[in-house]
A and B are shown apart, each in its own frame.
Chain A
Amino acid sequence: MRNIATLTASASLFHAKLADATWLAQHFSSSEFSTLFDQLFAGHTIIDSHEVNISLPEIAENGAVVPITISSSLDHIDKIYILVEKNPTPLACEFELSKDVVVYITARIKMAESCNVVIIAQQEDYLLRNQKWVTVMQGGCGTG
């Protein structure tokens, strides 16, 4: 069904499609990290895993632009969440990947202050967690 819709995609159809999309305001609103974490993942078993690798600078000179690389030797992961523990809006991005995509993402995120960056990788019912501490020298004004 989705294929038929996209084959005939036009600008207006695209908007209709996005209107059905899943961007959820409550995921990206200002909240305490622990509150948001429960909202996103409560009821799931979270396994701390190094099968999902995070590459981040140990010290970020400028919190407005912190490069992050997420990779894994796993063949597929359904969803990847990037959370910045002490940002006013802790959830930075939520990626949904099809099986055509290698588990490898780079992005640039804002960090308000030194804290952990937490990655949750969802594969079916399993949630894998890895995190890394980043020392932020200068949190960009109003970052996060």
Chain B
Amino acid sequence: MASSIKIRSQQLDDYTEIKVLLSHPMENGRNRDVNGILIPAHFIQEMIIELNNKTIITADLGGSVSKNPFFTFRLKNGNSGQPLTVRWIDNLGQSDSAELILE
């Protein structure tokens, strides 16, 4: 299965820009399907970003985050060649992780 996580990084003059796209329905439990049946809540609760095995960003999320969450962050410079890891876990206990070596 393809990874649910896409990470892009770009070294700029003053910072490193990180873009993270997570493929996830982010259902808040209040939507109904075509037959009027309530779709159970299914959303990412936590995303953790580590740089060089050290947690730099923890994001707690709720059902008010849009489907397929997309985030941009900026890191202070000096991280070239270091691994950046993104992990998430959702309310059903499903999880995924991906790593990118910063250019």
A: residues with CB less than 8 A from B are: 2-3, 6-7, 9, 14-15, 18, 21-24, 27-28, 64-66, 69, 84, 87-102, 104-110, 141-144
Contacts and interface: CB of A to CB of B under 8 A. Distances in A.
Given A23-B46, A101-B75, 17 more contacts: A9-B53, A14-B95, A14-B97, A21-B48, A66-B66, A89-B28, A89-B64, A91-B62, A92-B64, A98-B56, A100-B75, A106-B72, A107-B69, A107-B70, A110-B28, A144-B28, A144-B30
B65 A109 contact: yes
Chain B interface extent, by class: 35 or more
B31 A93 contact: no
B71 to A, nearest CB: 5
Interface of B: 15, 28, 30-32, 45-46, 48, 50-51, 53-67, 69-76, 79, 87, 89, 95, 97
Contacts of B51: 100
